[in-house]
Structure 1
């Protein structure tokens, strides 16, 4: 007599549609035991980061705006997010051409520049223009992006590109937008003396120090970043992946940014991009002015002359007349 039962060749009956799947013993599974397929989750974008003055490489993800990015970086290295002045992409140097603005390439390497030495400088405003271009980090810190050669500030060695402007005549400007700080500097009377309190980025040796102009432009091949697809931060707090702008749009945005600098003393690629996008489908400067007045950009108070200048570079870029 065999100790093993002969395996039946008769196949198990298929489950009825209304009953759901059956376990091997044929018992009907309760509804709450029926296996459910897991929801499909989108892969989370992951970026590499490092402190610009030197640190181990960190891994960050799960942010949708600049403030959240700073919080992720500060949590990674265990310091307050308020310590971050700004970030550069693919270089640890104070290179203003590599500033992180409203978007990050999916393969970009992020370097965080932290607060370093504070300094206070007295300035004699001997000319109407100080020669400064101001930008901000998107989280309340305005800083110097460019210093015009042979200007008042250019001849003051203690004021450098990349310095954060903390106070003007003992008035705290932390939390103000860059155009507000630029306006305050512009309104200082000629031939008067004012004080400016600055905080320079933390440095390691001489590796981070850039030139007095717009920042170092290295001839070396960039070692990080593809520049093809970017994570763009939007005004509604969300972020989305977008392809790089076409050549004409890029030229137009750069020209708009140059006008912002010459008219207002600020540099803001994200603002220039917003203006370019508002101009889409507009056929004259009046329509552009109305679109700006109906948007959050109304607070800038652009003059009619400035709108006309904007429209000129937009139409030139659209037609391919500039490159």
Structure 2
């Protein structure tokens, strides 16, 4: 599927291969000037670094953006069968922080969907606590994802059974067709989403390999990070679309109440689950406010960076 020129990935200033704790190799990219405030972006289930392209277009060179593909997604390695857990998500984020954030620098982190769960899982890690000053949680939840989803209606038992199947079926999605495109838009986005953003969403989801998709779906099915939320005690903002079928707004409200330093809960009217694609301007505005309040430019910090493992 050919994307319009406005959505083609910009050329990164640096590409890295980052080794996580269990040896899984992660694809990571750095965009923007080295002296700009740093933001580390963590994407959701079945997505990739492509989900952040609209936000990069909005923010331009005002930030130093660190993007990485979650394990089993995009250009990162598929882990062993034992490598699917919230612990692994936290390990990966901490490895990326260590590889891309200089010592003494404090950054903002943004997590969408499973990426937000990654931030919760890593909240008590020393690597996270020493480097992260503020967080933005977009379209995410900490527990009860299956009973809370609203993809289909009907009796709760049947609805939950369908949602479990949606998460864990290890079946290839096949070629992109008008039917699969319409189905993904219904599940993940609002009816008013632009065709270009729908195309980008479809491209990412179809590119996600079937086995990692199903194994991460099983992690999400059984997810319970409720005990981790209070440990995310840095300034945090939460946002969600009011028409989100996968993580409806009650998840965001519950997070906002449980987070020790939640500054703001933002409800985006009539938007779905893919808020970075559907509302890049609003997401960027929330991020810019966090940066102004809590993150200093890199020039004001220690510039001695840890060694980086460069891609070949």
Q: Same fold (TM over 0.5)?
A: no
Q: Which has the higher strand share?
A: 1
TM value normalised by structure 1: 0.27
Structure possessing the higher relative contact order (Cα contacts under 8 Å, 6 or more residues apart): 2
The structure with the larger Rg is 1
